[in-house]
Chains A and B, each alone.
Chain A
Amino acid sequence: MRWRLARTLWLVQFAYMAEYRAEIALWALSGVLPFIMLGLWSAAAGSGAGGGLDLGLSPAELGRYFLCVFVVRQFSVVWVVWQFEEDALQGRLSPYLLQPLHPLWRYVAAHQAEQATRLPFVLLIASLFFLLQPQSFAWPGPARVLLGVLAVGLAFAINFLLQSLIATLCFWSERASALERLLYVPTVFLSGLVAPLQAFPPELRRLALHTPFPYLIGFPAQVLAGNPMGEGQPFGLAAGFAAMALWIALLLPLLVLLWRAGVRRYSAMGA
Chain B
Amino acid sequence: MMRLSLALALRYGRTLRRFWGTALATQLEYQLNALIELLAMAGNLAGSLLVLWLFYRQGVALGGWSWNSVLVVLGAYTCLDGLTSTLLRPNLSRIVNHVQEGTLDFVLLKPIDSQFWLSLRTLSPAGLPELVVGVALMLWAGRRELGTLPLSAVLLAALLLLAAAVTLYALWFVLAATSIWFVKTWNATEVLRAALTAGRYPVSAYPSGLRTLFTLVLPVAFLTTVPAEALLGRLTLAGALTSLLVAGGALAISRAFWTFALRFYTSASS
Contacts and interface: CB of A to CB of B under 8 A. Distances in A.
Interface of A: 20, 22-23, 26-27, 29-33, 36, 39-40, 42-44, 47-48, 50, 52-54, 175, 178-179, 181-182, 184-186, 188-189, 194-195, 199-201
B193 interface: yes
A194 B59 contact: no
B193 A182 contact: no
Contacts of B43: 182, 185-186
A43 B55 CA distance: 11
Contacts of A50: 59
Interface stretch (B46-54, B247-255, B257-265): B46-54
A47 B39 CA distance: 35
Given A39-B210, A42-B207, A43-B205, A185 B51 contact: no
Interface string B129-155: 000000000000000000000000000
Nearest to A19: B184
A22 B184 contact: yes
Nearest to A184: B40
18 contacts: A22-B184, A23-B184, A26-B190, A27-B187, A29-B194, A30-B190, A40-B55, A40-B206, A42-B207, A44-B205, A47-B60, A52-B60, A178-B33, A182-B40, A185-B44, A188-B47, A189-B51, A199-B58
Contact of A43 (B36, B44, B191, B207): B207
B158 interface: no
Interface residues of B, number: 38
A195 B51 CA distance: 7
A159 B160 CA distance: 41
Given A26-B188, A178-B32, A40 B194 contact: no
Contacts of B61: 48
B215 interface: no
Chain A interface SS verdict (over half): helix
Nearest to A179: B36
Contact of A20 (B36, B57, B63, B184): B184
B54 A182 contact: no
A44 B187 contact: no
A201 B57 contact: yes
B159 interface: no
B191 A26 contact: yes
Contacts of A30: 187, 190-191, 193-194
A186 B47 CA distance: 8
A29 B191 contact: yes
Interface in B203-231: 205-207, 210
A40 B191 contact: no
Nearest to B44: A185
A30 B191 CA distance: 4
A44 B60 contact: yes
A43 B206 contact: yes
- The interface centre, meaning the residue of B47, B54, B205 with most chain A CB atoms within 10 A of its CB, is B54
Contacts of B54: 195, 199-200
Given A175-B30, A185-B47, A33 B194 contact: yes
B265 to A, nearest CB: 20
B190 A27 contact: yes
A72 to B, nearest CB: 16
A135 to B, nearest CB: 14
B185 A39 contact: no
Given A22-B182, A189-B50, A181 B194 contact: no
A256 B200 CA distance: 40
Nearest to B185: A22
- The interface centre, meaning the residue of A26, A182, A200 with most chain B CB atoms within 10 A of its CB, is A26
Contacts of B188: 26
Contacts of A26: 185, 187-188, 190-191
A32 B36 contact: no
Contacts of B210: 36, 39
B207 to A, nearest CB: 5
A39 B198 CA distance: 10
Contacts of B184: 20, 22-23
B173 interface: no
Pick the 5 closest A-B CB pairs, nearest first.
A185-B43, A189-B47, A26-B187, A30-B194, A30-B190
Contacts of A188: 44, 47
B36 A181 contact: yes
Nearest to B190: A30
A43 to B, nearest CB: 5
A44 B55 contact: yes
